[in-house]
Amino acid sequence: MATWMTTRSLRRPLRPLPPPPRRGLARARPGRPATSAAASSAPAAAAGAAETLAWRPRGRTPSADAPGARLVPVGHPMLRVPCAPVLKQDFGSPRLRKLVDDMNVIMDKHLAMGLSAPQLGVPLQVCAYQYLAEWMTEESAEDDRLRGVVATPRTFLVNPKVKVIGTDVTIDMEACLSIDNLCALVKRARVIEVTARDLEDRPVQFRAENYMARILQHEVDHLRGILFVDRMYTRTLRTIDMINAPLPDNYANLPDR
């Protein structure tokens, strides 16, 4: 088993935070070796290069051209309800088309890497993810390489299931459009296998690794009523503006998350 710490070392002098990128994300600059945690035992020091990337919304008002496309905030009961599967007769239905349209509006507005139906108040097993090629700039090339980012067009998954492959894990900062301005370290499986249906009810199966696996696990958790705060290292919780603040020395010595 191996653990990758994909968050920059916060024990070295910090660089100033750059202005937020246009895609609505909070990005910290890359650093040097960081501390990591084993999957089932007390954490130990480990080498790894790093950076942090968190989902960060720009605002909370829906687009004027889509009055139904509205994010629900943490505390809303819909975020804690396991979602129902989409039935065969519902593929192509007006309800599903409206959901997809609204999710597209939100993802465009907030330039989001991922979104799930319950975040719009719809308890169906539908999620979407993306990492656009235009986000991968020359400036971010080294960061993207360290995190294993792969340019991915917007993709919708229906009734997705995730199977963990192997025991390797990564630790990185996560945030959420439904949890305003907060982020924390979360441990995720490094490699997963995804099975799902697409919007045309065709079978989909693929393997995802590193940061793309993280995005997918985050979104599939939403479909189960699970938020990243349920999995976070609690002492690393901070506002987005404090994403580069030093981590507490004992954050990983708490019970394993």
What gap in Å lies between CA 43 and CA 157, rounded to an integer? Answer: 34
- Separation of alpha carbons 115 and 113, rounded Å: 7
Q: Cα 126–194–183 angle (5° rounding)? A: 65
Backbone φ, ψ for residue 124 (5° rounding):
-120, 150
Residue 139 is among the residues annotated as catalytic for this protein: no
Backbone Cα Rg of the chain:
18
| Cα–Cα distance, 81 to 88 (Å, whole number) | 21
The helix/strand/coil state of 131 is strand
Q: Quickly count: other Cβ atoms within 10 Å of residue 170's Cβ.
A: 25
Selection from 120, 81, 129, 76 nearest residue 102 by Cα = 120
Measured distance CA(83)–CA(36) in Å, rounded:
33
Task: List the catalytic residues.
Answer: 219
